[in-house]
Amino acid sequence: MYREKVKYVFQDPARSLNPRMTIYEVLTAGCRFSSRWPGKKRARIEAAAILEEVGLSEADLERRPAEFSGGQRQRISIARGLLMQPELLICDEVVSALDVSIQGQILNLLLDIKSRRKLSFLFIAHDLKVASYFCDRIGVMYRGELMEEAPAENLYLEARHPYTKLLFSAASRGPLDNAGVQAAAPALRGEVSSATVKAAAGCAFAERCPLAEDRCLRERPPMRETGAGGFTRCHKAGNR
């Protein structure tokens, strides 16, 4: 089944772990009603092994979520996602609710899991620094529409879309030009529209884009290749 091959790690581990359950119950609740359920004895062995893989211990199986720190709870959430041996793990802002000192530990744990298990990740984040550190390829979205996509190692140097440049600038690490100089941040226009308000017929970013022309408001730009494996949805993508 598809839902057995794809698992999800939520943003806030404090809310995504049932406080009334033991860690063993948290880890195995979903697996218990799946085709992968191995029986109680084997399930406990697998649950203990998964906990150890994420940096906890078998003794933690009988504890409850409130007894753990935020970083430890996120490790438990990751273990829950891994227990059924998924092919894809979706991580939704998995470090945004954690202290900066803990974020690096969780990211390094995920990188280790990614390498060891050859596991695919869909990593959702608003911080391009974090995304660039973890991801092989990054897609930048605005109002639910993909604006730019490129290999992570190239996007920082070759950002073409004004919105991507804005995000890098907000992270205080603007994209570099050919001379290795940090590019100036684009000046935005107007205010962010509510997600319930229908976007312009053209580019979703046109109403705020400093480079927008009449054409941008009227015509939805196609996603086109911009070199080095990158794609940009912008009528002026060639202008850096």
Phi, psi for 122 (deg, rounded to 5): -110, 110
Q: How confident is the model at residue 234 (pLDDT cuts 50, 70, 90)?
A: very high
End-to-end CA distance of the chain: 45
Is 239 within a domain? Answer: no
Cα 40–Cα 42–Cα 43 angle in degrees, nearest 5: 60
User: Which residue segment(s) compose the domain that 141 sits in?
Assistant: 137-233
| 101 & 149 share domain | no
Specify the DSSP element, H or E, that contains 231.
strand 230-233
Report helix, strand or coil for 232.
strand
| 155 & 117 share domain | no
Of 85, 103, 124, the residue at which a domain comes to its end is 124
Residue 192 is predicted with a pLDDT of 59
Residue 174 is predicted with a pLDDT of 47
Mean pLDDT of 191-207: 72
Q: What is the DSSP string of 93-161?
A: STTTTS-HHHHHHHHHHHHHHHHHHT-EEEEE-S-HHHHHHH-SEEEEEETTEEEEEEEHHHHHHH--S
For the cut 90, the answer to whether the pLDDT of residue 53 exceeds it is: yes
| 105 & 152 share domain | no
Is 168 within a domain? Answer: yes
| 111 & 142 share domain | no
| 84 & 156 share domain | no
Residue 138 is predicted with a pLDDT of 96
For the cut 60, the answer to whether the pLDDT of residue 195 exceeds it is: no
Q: 7-51 pLDDT, tens per residue?
A: 999 999 889 999 999 999 999 998 998 988 999 999 999 999 999
Of 124, 152, 168, the residue at which a domain comes to its end is 124
Residue 182 is predicted with a pLDDT of 52
Q: 54-83 pLDDT, tens per residue?
A: 999 999 999 999 999 999 999 999 999 999
| 152 & 182 share domain | yes
Please tell me the least confidently modeled range out of 51-55, 101-105, 108-112, 189-193: 189-193
**Dist. CA 146–CA 154, nearest whole Å:** 17
Q: What is the mean pLDDT of the chain?
A: 88
Is 212 within a domain? Answer: yes
For the cut 60, the answer to whether the pLDDT of residue 186 exceeds it is: no
For the cut 60, the answer to whether the pLDDT of residue 239 exceeds it is: no
Number of domains in the chain: 2
Of 124, 156, 176, the residue at which a domain comes to its end is 124
For the cut 90, the answer to whether the pLDDT of residue 158 exceeds it is: no
Hey, what's the torsion of the CAs at 8, 14, 20, 26, to 10 degrees? Answer: 30
Q: 208-222 pLDDT, tens per residue?
A: 898 899 999 999 999
Is 131 within a domain? Answer: no
Residue 169 is predicted with a pLDDT of 81
| 181 & 69 share domain | no
CATH label of the domain that carries residue 87: 3.40.50.300
